[in-house]
Amino acid sequence: MSKPYIIGIAGGSGSGKTFFLKRFLDHFSPDEVCLVSQDDYYFPVAHNMTPEENKLYDFDKPATIDAGQFEKDIKKLTAGEVIYKKEYTFNNPNAVPKILEIKPAPILIIEGLFIFHFKPIEELLDMRIFIDADEAVALERRLKRDLIERGYSHDDVMYKWVNHVVPAYKEFLLPYKDGCHKVVINNSNTAEGIQAVTDEISEDLRKRVLNKA
């Protein structure tokens, strides 16, 4: 197997990165693309925390990620090896994590907040995509997700947003925006704009990487 074409996709919290990825992956079959998420490389600390400790702990720091293992697994995939990784359960002590089997494919997508900041990983990327949204839009999405899906209180979400999320975005992601091949502005809650962008990128990849019309 030849070296895969590696795409890095990054965006701040609430930018709509997950939605973009879902739409993007819909263009390919499982044997054409594989995805590695930075979230699955958090050091396992949350299960030992009280709710108050969890609130204060800053998960938006590069040091919370096992960057060494992240890099090793990416290099295994580029060498044609299958990797196995325990799923990250977003600090939910009641969730039973699955073991993820990630198989190599011609297109490898790496996504996460720090993927441009981690230089050994950034240097492997053939394409860099930055998903962006206005801060007010991103906060609204973050509140909706964390209040409904993850059971956080409004005060906890706002504390993390002000003290962790925004500072991390400005320090570890925003400086790399201008160096990306594509910047996708995602302020809408409708699918049309994102669909058009993913259509364009996937069509180009299908011709250049997969050699299919």
Confidence tier at 139 by pLDDT (50, 70, 90)? very high
Q: In this structure, is residue 211 part of a structural domain? A: no
Beta bridge partners of 83: 102
Q: In this structure, is residue 55 part of a structural domain? A: yes
Give the domain extent around 19.
Answer: 5-206
Q: In this structure, is residue 159 part of a structural domain? A: yes
Q: In this structure, is residue 97 part of a structural domain? A: yes
Q: In this structure, is residue 213 part of a structural domain? A: no
What sign does the CA torsion over 62, 33, 193, 183 have? positive
Q: In this structure, is residue 102 part of a structural domain? A: yes
Residue 165 DSSP code: I
Q: Which two tokens stand for residue 81?
A: 């090896």
Share of the chain above pLDDT 90, in %: 65
Number of domains in the chain: 1
Q: What is the pLDDT of residues 9-57, one digit of tens each?
A: 999 999 999 999 999 999 999 999 999 999 999 987 766 677 677 777 8
CATH classification of the domain holding 135: 3.40.50.300
Q: In this structure, is residue 68 part of a structural domain? A: yes
Asked if 23 contacts 33 with a C-beta cutoff of 8 angstroms, the reply is: no
64 by Cβ neighbours in 10 Å (0-12 / 13-18 / 19+) ranks as middle
β-pair type (83-86, 99-102) = antiparallel
- Looking at residue 96, its pLDDT comes to 77
Q: In this structure, is residue 212 part of a structural domain? A: no
> For residue 75, which amino acid is it?
K
Q: What is the pLDDT of residues 191-203, one digit of tens each?
A: 788 888 899 999 9
